[in-house]
Amino acid sequence: MRSKPSRASVSFDHPTDRSSTHAKKWSVRLRHTKRHSHLLNQAADVAENETATEPFVAVPPPDNYHKRSRSKLDASFIEGLPGGTSRIALLGVARGMFRSPYWIAHALLVPAALMLTTCEASRSEDDSQVQVQEPAPCFAGDDFFAASQFATRIGYLASAELAGRLPGSDGDTKARKYISESLACFGLQPVGSTFSQPFVDSEGHDTANVIGVLPGVDPDLKNEIIVVSAHHDHLGLDEQGQARLGANDNASGVATLLAVAHALVSRSQGPKRTLVFATFGAEELGLEGSIHYVAHPPAGLPIKNTVFVVNMDMVGRYDNDDLLYALDAKPGSPGRAAVDAVRPNFTDLNLDVDTMGDSSDQVSFAAVGVAGLFFHTPDSTCYHLPCDTAEKIDYPHLSRTAELITAVVESLANGSLL
């Protein structure tokens, strides 16, 4: 296990205790990370020379980001499911239903599934011709972890309409728009007047990170920042023209981030530390969105004040190995302490806390000395392939995973990091 990394100590050695999926993911991203090592070094230089910055000041969102009235929100799972993806999303719910100790609650979705099957029979057989409706950015009620909400969000983000969310594509733009509207609807603060941090990726595409802030309330800790992250991009079409929709990689992480954000912003008491919810672009090209964030931190959110990062990448396939990784949870670290503190409430999840993390966006923060956790589930069959679709997601366990991550983030935001 590595200690809290500095710029000089970030290691790209191939770990020996990974599953084949880990090894595959590592080998692909290692090439990207080495190719972009100069960007990591530039980000480290920025952090080393960063001058004191005024703390984040919350400002009202711009007019086009007004929180929608709860009366206008779509409280119905059936109405909220995107056309053309509702059928497969419900199949994903059913796949994990009876494996979960909460199967009775999830079984309530079965009548909805039957109704949808009947309705879908009258639709065109070619779902690619169906216009997918963007779901409501908020859902009514306080069940932030309902499997149906994950099915709705992933069904949209991993739909044929968004075509794999390649950076700079129409699908990428639509995904970022939906994430921005959701963060605004929850009540998070933009950075300045926008939730978007634009950049141009290494292939010349205009894309952006999406960032929302939940300011800390403790006078002594509010200037300390915890980043909660997931990447929103994926790979677009493969060489045969098939869409790689990226349901697990990483619509699952984005949907989880949105659930965590909505749950924490709804608490009666705000977090002691400031929470930054960031979805990064161009991760598949070599962590480019998170590198850009570290090299060009938004106003009021200096990297020197960033004390921890919680990253989520591919968290929707618990059923693949009956396993959830909390990677980089080194014994004695704040991350391990936070996981251990909440673990007794999640005995239904098989949690691995003894494995080194793969290369995902937390590496960009590790390069400048920011410790972190990386939540991940293995996917031995559909990693970076067209079969990574919404119906393969294990929604009941994803719901529990999101609850666990929320508890971990809350522990980190309010507890000791020593």
Q: Is residue 387 part of a domain?
A: yes
Q: Read off the CATH number of the domain in which 157 is found.
A: 3.40.630.10
Counted domains in the chain: 1
Please state, in angstroms and rounded to a whole number, the distance separating the CA atoms of residues 16 and 162.
Answer: 36
For the cut 70, the answer to whether the pLDDT of residue 39 exceeds it is no
Average pLDDT, the chain: 79
pLDDT tens digits for 272-328?
A: 999 999 999 999 999 999 999 999 999 999 999 999 999 999 999 999 999 999 999
Model confidence at 41, pLDDT cuts 50, 70, 90, reads low
DSSP 3-state percent helix, strand, coil across the chain (nearest 5): 40, 15, 45
Q: Is residue 40 part of a domain?
A: yes
pLDDT tens digits for 122-179?
A: 333 344 445 678 999 998 888 999 999 999 999 999 999 999 999 999 999 999 999 9
Closest CA to 267 of 229, 223, 216, 219: 216
pLDDT tens digits for 322-358?
A: 999 999 999 999 999 999 999 999 999 999 998 888 7
The 8-class DSSP code of residue 276 comes to E
Q: Is residue 82 part of a domain?
A: yes
Q: Is residue 405 part of a domain?
A: yes
pLDDT tens digits for 257-275?
A: 999 999 999 999 999 999 9
Please state, in angstroms and rounded to a whole number, the distance separating the CA atoms of residues 169 and 204.
Answer: 12
Q: By residue range, what is the domain housing residue 141?
A: 20-414
Q: Is residue 290 part of a domain?
A: yes
Which whole number is the average pLDDT over 197-203?
97
Q: Is residue 96 part of a domain?
A: yes
Please state, in angstroms and rounded to a whole number, the distance separating the CA atoms of residues 319 and 24.
Answer: 19
Q: Is residue 394 part of a domain?
A: yes
Burial class for 51, CB neighbours closer than 10 Å (0-12, 13-18, 19+):
exposed
For the cut 80, the answer to whether the pLDDT of residue 26 exceeds it is no
Q: Is residue 62 part of a domain?
A: yes
